[in-house]
Amino acid sequence: MIEQTLDIATRDGKTTTFIVHPERDGPHPVILFFMDAPAIREELRDMARRIATVGYYVMLPNLYYRRGVMELADLPPLTEADARARMFDLMGSINIPLVMSDADALLDFAGRDPAASPGPAAAIGYCMSGQYAINTAARHPERIACAASLYGVQLVTDKPDSPHLAAQKTKAELYFACAEHDTYAPLETVEALDASLKSNGVNAEVEIYKGAHHGFAFPQRAVYDKPSAERHWERLFALFKRNLS
């Protein structure tokens, strides 16, 4: 495997991006992997590595670079309540237009790297970034062949760029993995999302992971659920195989 951590120029500065891909048999299809709220950490790098081992060029960008933050663990320690408030403040510092600008820069960079395939690509996002993966598919319908939101939040809003509306602007295959127990994306929101997608003929699947809680795929979380986590990997790899081969 080949790993790099590079500063990729964006409209607003530079996003430090972890890139990993196989050493042989390239070029490899691009996967944009958008982080969750707790930011870049080894847990996410390991997940990127797992995707890369089956034949993909994975890009994991730092979305908090505008605030000069890379890894929350590197910041001064705070009480649990203050650390949580800091994380939500960082979440609020980005939005769909800003991340779409970053996605443009990432795809442009990949387009100049011989190790990255110029063909169909994918986007995935966990937690706060599920919305970003879906909107990337809508912004780049000519490039993004599939996208996945993993216990994503804010998927149905009253904004014009709400993911449930963005989903109607792409022919990419979309997958939504939703936890049965999720205060950030309650079942009524998931049901509204599913109804919207079906009524508009979107090529999408909404799957509820019974018994699972928000964050179930992260092995270092207390809510980690191995059967659900492994199912989500099965679903992702099948999605990629159908659309990126």
pLDDT, residue 160, reads: 94
Give which of 131, 242, 112, 108 is closest to 189, Cα–Cα. Answer: 131
Alpha helices in 17-175 (DSSP H): 42-52, 80-91, 96-111, 130-139, 163-166
Contact, 161 vs 97, CB < 8 A? yes
Q: What is the pLDDT of residues 13-34, one digit of tens each?
A: 999 999 999 999 989 999 999 9
Whether the Cβ atoms of residue 19 and residue 4 lie closer than 8 Å to each other: yes
What's residue 89's pLDDT? Answer: 84
Residue 105: per-residue pLDDT: 98
Nearest to 231 by CA among 166, 180, 171: 180
In degrees, to the nearest 5, what angle opens at C-alpha 54 toward C-alphas 143 and 163? 40
In the chain, which residues have pLDDT < 70? Answer: 72, 74-78
User: Which CATH architecture describes the domain 2-244?
Assistant: 3-Layer(aba) Sandwich (3.40)
What was the pLDDT predicted at 78? 66
Domain layout of the chain by residue ranges:
2-244
pLDDT at res. 139: 97
Q: What does the alpha-carbon distance between residue 4 and residue 121 come to, in Å, rounded to a whole number?
A: 19
